[in-house]
Structure 1
Amino acid sequence: MRTDLDDHSRLNNARSTPAARLIAGALTPANVVLALMAYLAVKYTASLLAAAAWWLAALVLVVGVPYLILFRALRNGSADDRQVVRRSQRPALMASAAGAVTFALVVLYLAGAPRPLVWLILAMICGLVAMGLTTMVWKASMHMAVAAGVIAVLAIEVLRAGIAAALLLPVLGWARWRDGRHSVMQLAGGAVIGATVAGVVYGFLR
């Protein structure tokens, strides 16, 4: 497909830097989601021990299982690389991830997890669905979608913290662009989708 060829061409011609790789590695979707989950778990539970237990459960169910799905796709050839550069390979993986996160949502809800943590996971599912539908016709940045969604939720919780964290978005965007992973439009599109979906869903439930 033409889009896949353009994405690979941009990646092959990119001139990455150690700083760009460091920033992109530090601000992966898993890292930023887990950081927000840790904050919500601590804020909305009575003890650090309980918060740690909920955070670990979320780590396994919400982050661990989708990564296992990705690694399985890498082994069987349905994904070429961890970044899933080919847009055509993304919808199936996003659908599988959404299913895994939905299962996590049900388990954590029934187990009595802090409701803001559950709401965050629901916002993640809606974000995955939105990104999956978008990916059917156009590629947007998942890194930016997740980061912007996390920042939107953080802003709802603590406005000043969300505003401060938003300063990281252009830094992450630069790193992904410098690595050749996305065009500027793909980065902006991901940010808009992530912030809008997470902000609306989490803000409504809260």
Structure 2
Amino acid sequence: MTATPTRTPVDRAARVVTEVCAPGVLVIVILLAVGWYAAPGLIGLGWGILAALFCGIVPYGLLIVGARLGWWTDHHVGDRKQRLVPLSIILGCVIAGIATLLVLDAPGAMLALVAAMLVTLVVTLTITVAARWKVSVHTAVAGGTAVLLMLTYGSFTAVTVPVVALVGWSRVRLGDHTPAQTIVGAVLGATVAGFVFRLLN
């Protein structure tokens, strides 16, 4: 689908939701949240920051730089045909993150979380390339984030679930995805990330 211009107040609101809840942002949030839980005080936060460097900060930065250099349409890589390279780069960053955490003997929860991200990314990349279908990475990460928060901190964090629907709405409103692509993304992220994290943690 071709993204529509951001003109109306509703469109602008959708754009804000899309940017605030971008995959790179939510990945950093969940890594810091689980890091804080996995180890006491600043030590846990340090693990979260280290993992976020590999899984969120560097990949998101590369997407922004790539968009500015014209390598892909925008930092969300709206064109499905352009997604193979950036997703592969992100995959490499996450693998490097896991290797680093293993070498440094990171807490099990951190390793389980990054592994969950890796498997979700592989599944998303497979669907994008093999099925030639642009599943929503935004809702996949949002769905995974909501489930991982619940598995880590308990059921009270279920208040974040409506945010997943809001992210899906924003992607459809902006013309970047169909409703089906956002729903499949959310279900995929929630089930795959949740299963892997629960299995390994």
Query: What TM-score comes out, normalization by structure 2 length?
Result: 0.89
**In structure 1, distance between residues paired with 2:53 and 2:113:** 16
Which of 18, 21, 39 is equivalent to 1:24?
18
Q: Is 1:186 the equivalent of 2:181?
A: yes
Instruction: Report the counterpart of residue 169 of structure 1 in structure 2.
Output: 164
**In structure 2, distance between residues paired with 1:24 and 1:67:** 14
Instruction: Report the counterpart of residue 130 of structure 1 in structure 2.
Output: 123
Instruction: Report the counterpart of residue 82 of structure 1 in structure 2.
Output: 75
**Worse-superposed segment, 11-20 or 137-146:** 11-20
The size of the alignment, in residue pairs, is: 197
Q: Is 1:199 the equivalent of 2:169?
A: no
**In structure 1, distance between residues paired with 2:55 and 2:44:** 16
Equivalent positions of 1:96-111 (< 5 A) are 96-111=89-104
Alpha carbons of structure 1 residues 91 and 28: separation in structure 2 relative to 1, 3 Å: same
What displacement does 1:76 show? 5.1
The residue matched to 2:186 in structure 1 has which SS? helix
Instruction: Report the counterpart of residue 86 of structure 2 in structure 1.
Output: 93
Superposed CA offset, 1:20-70 (max 9, x none): 122222211122222222221111212x22123222212322212212432
**In structure 2, distance between residues paired with 1:190 and 1:175:** 14
Q: Is 1:113 the equivalent of 2:106?
A: yes
Superposed CA offset, 1:160-203 (max 9, x none): 13422112111111122112221101101111211121011111
**Worse-superposed segment, 126-135 or 57-66:** 57-66
**In structure 2, distance between residues paired with 1:13 and 1:74:** 18
**Worse-superposed segment, 22-31 or 133-142:** 22-31
Alpha carbons of structure 1 residues 92 and 109: separation in structure 2 relative to 1, 3 Å: same
**In structure 2, distance between residues paired with 1:161 and 1:105:** 29
> Structure 1 counterpart of 2:192, which letter?
V
Please give the root-mean-square deviation of Cα atoms over the aligned residues, in Å: 1.9
Query: What TM-score comes out, normalization by structure 1 length?
Result: 0.87
Alignment gaps of 5+ in structure 1: 1-6
Q: Is 1:12 the equivalent of 2:7?
A: no
Provide the identity percentage.
29
